[in-house]
Amino acid sequence: MLRRVKLLAFVFPLVMSASPLLAASSGEAVYLKRCAVCHEQANDRIPPRTVLQKMSSARIVRALDAGAMMAVGFTLSREDRIAVASYLGTSTIESGPPASAFCSDRTVKLAATPKTSWNGWSPGSNNARFQPGNSARLSIDQVRGLKLKWAFGFDGDVIAFAPPTVIDGQLFVGSAAGLVHAMRAKTGCLQWVFQANGPVRSSILVVPLGSEYALLFGDMTGWFYAVKAETGKLLWKVQVDTHDSTRLTGGPGAHQGTVYVPVSSWEETRSGDPEYACCTFRGSVVALRIRDGKQLWKTWMTEVPTERGKNSRGTKSFGPSGVGVWSTPTVDAERNLLYVGTGDNYSPPVTDTSDAVTALDLATGRVAWSRQMTANDAYNSGCAGQETCGPDFDFGSSPILVHAPDARELLLAGQKSGIVWALDPAKQGEVVWQTRVGLGGTNGGVQWGMATDGQHVFATVSDVKRSRQTSQTDTRRYIIDPGAGGGLTALRVADGSQEWHVAAKPCPEGAPSGCSPSQPGAVTEIPGVVFATSTDGHIRAHSAETGELLWEFNTMRDFHTVNGVKGSGGSIDGPGPVVVNGMVFISSGYPRNGGVPGNVLLAFAPE
C-alpha cells in the first residue's frame, strides 16, 4: 500500500512506502533526537531552528536526500526525513526555472538515425565507455585546446552527480533536486523540465517508442520512469522496490523492448544506528516492458531475510541482506545474457552472490552463472571492530564485454579491492587474469567505471584516506587526507600486464577542505585520449599511448552560469566525462566521503 505525502506542487511530489518494520514518524520527535543537538546551539556555521522554519519543506528534504545534510539523512528513513521536513519547513511552493533560462525555441527533435550520441552510461551496450572517432569528433590536438563553453547551475542544489545523455545536439540530465532537464548541448538553454519523486543520479537512456522517443531513468527513492523525450510528459512510472532505503544509482540497460533496472540501497549506512534493525534490503535486477512499464521479471540477489538474533541494545537483527546492484547491466545479445556486478552483504549470513559478476538470462532473469571474487564479505556502518566486518569489496562499476586482441571475448570488471579482473563469458566467468591497480578498501580501489578500446583497459582508483569526524558541529561524516589516493593505470587486455601508470597529484597547499587526489569517478576514452577526473575537482586528458597529460581544467571554482544561478564546482565522483560531437561534458560537485560540494554541469569544446 502506498502512502502519498505532497510537500509542494513543483519540487518533490514525494512518495514513500509503508514498511512493517517502521512506525509512523513524528517530525518533532525526529528533530529532538537527531537534529536539535546541532540546531539548538549558537554556532555561526549551523542555521538555528528559527531559520529552518523559514525554509520550504521540500528544500529541507532535498538537503537530507542529496545535499548539505546528506550525511545525517543517510541515517534516517525516508519517512523520518519527510516527517522532520514537514515539521520544520513551510509549504511554500517553489517556482521552477525562470523564463530566461529557456531557449527561444523549445522544440525537441531526435533523428531516427542520430549522427552522434552518448546514450546512457556508455555509448554502447557493452559498457566500454569508449567513444569512436566519428562520434567523438575530437582530435588529440583539439583536446589540448579545450575551453569552457558554458556552465549550467542546478538551482538550490549543493551536489551534482548525474551524467548527461547527448544525442546529436540534444542533452538530457538529472539533478539532486529530482529535476530532469532537456537542454541544447551547444548553449545549455532549457527546453523543458520534469519533476521526479526524488534525486535523479542515474544515467538516462533514450529509446524509440513508436514514432517518438522515451527517456528511461530511476531516482534515489526507488521509482523508475518513462518520460516522453519530445515534451517531458510522463508516460509511466513504477516503484521497482518498496524498501525505504532503496536507491537507483546505476543507469538502465535495454534490449528488444525490455529495460533492465539495477536496484541498490544505502541501508548499510543506517546500520550505524544501534536502534535500527539491520538489515532487510535485498539487491535485485528488475525487467520492465518499455511499452507500458509492466514487470516481466525480478531477480533477487539474496534470499528473504529472517530474524537472526538481537544486538546489545536488544534491537532485532536480520539476514541475509544486501548485495545491491550499483551499476548499469551489460547486455550480451549473442548469449542472451545480462551481466551485473554485485555489492557486499549487509549482514550475516554471507551469500555466494555478493562481490560477484553474475549472468542472468535476458528473457527470464534466471541466474545462468555467478563468479564470486571475495567471499565472506558482510559490511555495514555498525560492524566496525567486529570479526565479521568487511572488507566491503563491492563491484560498483559495470562489467565490460570486449573482444580481446586474440579474438576471444572477455568480461572486464574493476573491484573496490583494487583488482581488475578478466573473465571468460564462454566458460561461466572463469578467471583469465587478475591485476592489482590500487590498494583497495571500503572506499578504495576501482569505484565507478573503467574504459577500454579492446587493446588496453584504463582504470582509476579511489584509495581515499579519511578519518571519522569528531566535531558535533561539522556535518561531514569524514575528513579526507589531501595527499593520499588516486592513480590511473593502463593494462593490456590480452594478459593484464601494465602498460603505464600515472600517479595522482596531491592537493596543493591552501586547497579547500575536502580536496583529495583520489580518483573514484568513471574513465572515458576516445581514440588516442583517456579522460579521468578527481576528487580535487580536476578533469584531465591523458595520452592513451603513454599517459602523458594533454589537458586539465580545475572545476573547483565559481562559474557564471547560462541560467543565472549561482554556480560552483567541487569534487568530481561517480559518473565520468561524456564526449560527443566535439564537446566534453562533466558534472562537478559530488562531495561523497567528505569532498567539496558544487552544483554545475560544464561543457567544453575546442576554440
Residue 391's pLDDT band (cuts 50, 70, 90): very high
Strand order in the sheet with 524-526: 524-526, 529-533, 538-543, 549-554
In this prediction, residues 120-135 reach a mean pLDDT of 97
- Taking the CB of residue 469, how many other CB atoms lie within 10 A of it? 15
Answer whether residue 471 is part of any domain: no
Residue 202's pLDDT band (cuts 50, 70, 90): very high
In this prediction, residues 238-264 reach a mean pLDDT of 96
Long-range contacts of 228-232 (CB under 8 A, 24+ apart): 229/108, 229/110, 229/172, 229/182, 230/108, 230/109, 230/110, 231/108, 231/192, 232/180, 232/182, 232/192, 232/193, 232/194
Residue 54's pLDDT band (cuts 50, 70, 90): low
Answer whether residue 172 is part of any domain: no
The phi and psi torsions of 81 (rounded to 5 degrees) equal -65, -40
Nearest 10 degrees: CA dihedral of 406, 411, 415, 418?
Answer: 0
Any bridge partners for residue 502, and if so which?
488
Which residues, 6 or more positions from 598, have their beta carbon under 8 angstroms from its beta carbon?
Answer: 158, 159, 160, 537, 555, 556, 567, 568, 569, 570, 571, 588, 589, 590, 591
Strands (E), 280-372: 284-289, 295-300, 306-310, 316-319, 330-332, 337-341, 356-361, 367-372
Q: Are strands 367-372 and 356-361 parallel, antiparallel or unpaired?
A: antiparallel
Q: 479-538: per-residue pLDDT in tens?
A: 888 999 999 999 999 999 999 999 999 998 888 888 999 999 999 999 999 999 999 999
Q: What is the pLDDT of residue 63?
A: 73
Answer whether residue 267 is part of any domain: yes
73 pLDDT higher than 90: no
Answer whether residue 106 is part of any domain: no
Which residues, 6 or more positions from 24, have their beta carbon under 8 angstroms from its beta carbon?
Answer: 79
Answer whether residue 285 is part of any domain: yes
What would the grid cell of residue 473 be? 558541529
Q: Are strands 583-588 and 600-606 parallel, antiparallel or unpaired?
A: antiparallel
Any bridge partners for residue 130, and if so which?
525
- Helix, strand or coil for residue 296? strand
Q: What is the pLDDT of residue 267?
A: 92
Q: What is the pLDDT of residue 497?
A: 98
Q: Could you tell me if 135 and 581 are in contact, meaning their C-beta atoms sit under 8 angstroms apart? A: yes
Q: What is the pLDDT of residue 209?
A: 92
Strands (E), 185-312: 190-195, 205-209, 212-218, 223-228, 234-239, 246-247, 253-255, 258-265, 284-289, 295-300, 306-310
CA–CA separation, 285 and 283 (whole Å) = 7
Tell me the chain's radius of gyration from C-alpha atoms. Answer: 22
**212 and 72 fall within a common domain:** no
What's the CATH code of the domain at 8? 1.10.760
What would the grid cell of residue 485 be? 589516493
- Cα angle 301, 269, 44 (rounded to 5 degrees) comes to 155
Answer whether residue 10 is part of any domain: yes
Which of 252, 277, 278, 281 lies closest to 264, judged by CA? 281
Q: Write the burial class of residue 606 (CB in 10 Å: 0-12 exposed, 13-18 middle, 19+ buried).
A: middle
Q: What is the pLDDT of residue 86?
A: 83
What sign results for the dihedral spanned by CA atoms 415, 417, 419, 424?
Answer: negative
Domain that holds residue 36: 2-88
Q: What is the pLDDT of residue 46?
A: 59
Least confident range from 20-34, 166-180, 186-200, 389-403: namely 20-34
Q: Which of 369, 396, 423 is the last residue of a domain?
A: 396
Least confident range from 18-22, 183-187, 194-198, 370-374: namely 18-22
**244 and 388 fall within a common domain:** yes
Q: Could you tell me if 604 and 146 are in contact, meaning their C-beta atoms sit under 8 angstroms apart? A: yes
Which residues, 6 or more positions from 464, have their beta carbon under 8 angstroms from its beta carbon?
Answer: 443, 444, 480, 481, 484, 485, 516, 518, 520, 535, 593
**Residue length, the chain?**
607
Answer whether residue 105 is part of any domain: no
What's the CATH code of the domain at 341? 2.40.128.630
Q: Write the burial class of residue 94 (CB in 10 Å: 0-12 exposed, 13-18 middle, 19+ buried).
A: middle
In this prediction, residues 156-163 reach a mean pLDDT of 92
* First-to-last C-alpha distance (Å) of the chain: 56
Any bridge partners for residue 433, and if so which?
422
For the stretch 262-300, what's the b/e string if a residue is b when 16 or more beta carbons lie within 10 angstroms of its beta carbon?
Answer: bbbbbbbbbbbbeebbbbbbbbbbbbbebeebeeebebb
Question: Structurally, how many domains does the chain consist of?
Answer: 2
What would the grid cell of residue 590 be? 559530488
Whether a cis peptide bond, with omega within 30° of 0, leads into 349 is yes
Answer whether residue 529 is part of any domain: no
CA–CA separation, 360 and 332 (whole Å) = 10
Nearest 10 degrees: CA dihedral of 592, 594, 600, 601?
Answer: -40
Helix axes 78-88 and 57-66, enclosed angle (nearest 10): 140
- Taking the CB of residue 227, how many other CB atoms lie within 10 A of it? 24
**374 and 230 fall within a common domain:** yes
Q: What is the pLDDT of residue 4?
A: 30
Q: Which of 396, 429, 450 is the last residue of a domain?
A: 396
**225 and 373 fall within a common domain:** yes
CA–CA separation, 9 and 175 (whole Å) = 18
The one-letter amino acid at 102: F
Strand order in the sheet with 117-118: 117-118, 165-167, 170-173, 179-184, 190-195
CA–CA separation, 145 and 166 (whole Å) = 22
Which of 460, 440, 447 lies closest to 502, judged by CA? 460
Which DSSP symbol is given to 113?
S
Q: Could you tell me if 34 and 461 are in contact, meaning their C-beta atoms sit under 8 angstroms apart? A: no
Q: 517-529: per-residue pLDDT in tens?
A: 999 999 999 999 9
Residue 14's pLDDT band (cuts 50, 70, 90): very low
CA–CA separation, 32 and 440 (whole Å) = 39
Which residues, 6 or more positions from 237, have their beta carbon under 8 angstroms from its beta carbon?
Answer: 197, 223, 224, 225, 226, 293
Q: What is the pLDDT of residue 299?
A: 98
Q: What is the pLDDT of residue 1?
A: 28
Which residues, 6 or more positions from 387, have their beta carbon under 8 angstroms from its beta carbon?
Answer: none
Q: Which of 378, 396, 414 is the last residue of a domain?
A: 396
- Helix, strand or coil for residue 71? helix
Q: 541-552: per-residue pLDDT in tens?
A: 999 999 999 999
The one-letter amino acid at 81: R
Q: What is the pLDDT of residue 9?
A: 36
**83 and 209 fall within a common domain:** no
Whole-number mean pLDDT of the chain?
A: 89
